[in-house]
Amino acid sequence: MPAADYLVALQQKTPREFDKLRALLDRAGEVGPQNIRNPEKVKTLGKGLFEFKSYQERLFWCYGSSQGQRRTVLLLDGVTKKRDKHRPSDLARAREVMRDMNE
Amino acid sequence: MNDMSNVELLRRAFDTPSTEFEAERLVLEASEVILAEMERTGVSRTDLARALGKSKGHVSQILSGQRNMTLRTLAEVAAALSFRIRLDIETASTRDSDQNLDEVLRGVTTDVDTSARSFRPNITAEFRDHHRDDATVVSMAQWLHRASNRSRPHLTTHHEPHATQDGQVVAVS
């Protein structure tokens, strides 16, 4: 589900899970996502795609296009899942959005 | 779903004080402090589990947040790794908010680790909302901005290892 829709839906359906994910984003903002050491929380998926993991909540992200040294973190797509392994369709969708954003 | 209402809903949600948010933030910070010390001293999860007299799975559950990390748990881990946990109250007025956007984003985009420990977002960029086809992408910048401008008290853990070999005390937070 597109990131904004996913976050709004999560906040409305399970506010506690939303708050946990919010805490992870807050932490990423404080130290920079690349400096979060816990592989349970931030994972590299390859080819510029990453994910924030907060228990069953997964938020795909990538770095935005740069303007000099300015880059932002773009939240692409979100899914709720129990297993660690992603469905190929979820990954494909996230990569598609990432390509779209970086064109 | 209407994008503008999404924006407003998220802004409100990201600004709402929440016990769950504060609890999770502390868990994340505590696990990062522990992982940093493990990395610095070359202690593996297996080593830590052995020192605690617990299983490796137990340690993984603590670090992932799946197992409730109590103050006692934290103290046990700290003792096993020979460091000490300190708690500080942090308010909005005591947080370093002088850094400009360039400094903040340099911390995000480079591999230079030196800025990371004093990383305090002060992003003032406009909310960015891209809607292409069925994909909505929002920049994290806004949320960092909102997160950095809380006026309510802010509790953080600080990690202060014992004196280093040359006697210098290094505080990491």
Q: Which of A7, A20, A30, A98 is the mutation pick for testing B, counting most B CBs within 10 A?
A: A30
pLDDT per residue as tens digits for the range A81-95:
878 788 898 899 889
> Can you tell me the mean pLDDT for A59-74?
69
Output the pLDDT for position A30: 73
- Residues A1, A9 contacting (CB under 8 angstroms): yes
Is the pLDDT reported for residue B30 higher than 80?
A: yes
ipTM above 0.90, yes or no: no
Output the pLDDT for position B129: 40
Q: How far is residue B50's CA from residue B59's CA, in Å, rounded to a whole number?
A: 10
- Residues A58, A77 contacting (CB under 8 angstroms): no
- Residues B135, A2 contacting (CB under 8 angstroms): yes
- Residues B140, A25 contacting (CB under 8 angstroms): yes
Q: Which of B5, B29, B45, B105 is the mutation pick for testing A, counting most A CBs within 10 A?
A: B105
> Rounded to 10 degrees, what is the CA torsion of A61, B90, B93, B100?
-30
CA distances from B155 to A13, B21, B87, B158 (A): 27, 12, 8, 10
| Inter-chain CB proximity A35 and B13 less than 8 Å | no
Tokens of A64: 């935005």
Output the pLDDT for position A73: 77
- Residues B31, B159 contacting (CB under 8 angstroms): no
| Inter-chain CB proximity A73 and B109 less than 8 Å | no
- Residues B139, A63 contacting (CB under 8 angstroms): no
pTM of the model: 0.71
Tokens of A93: 């969708």
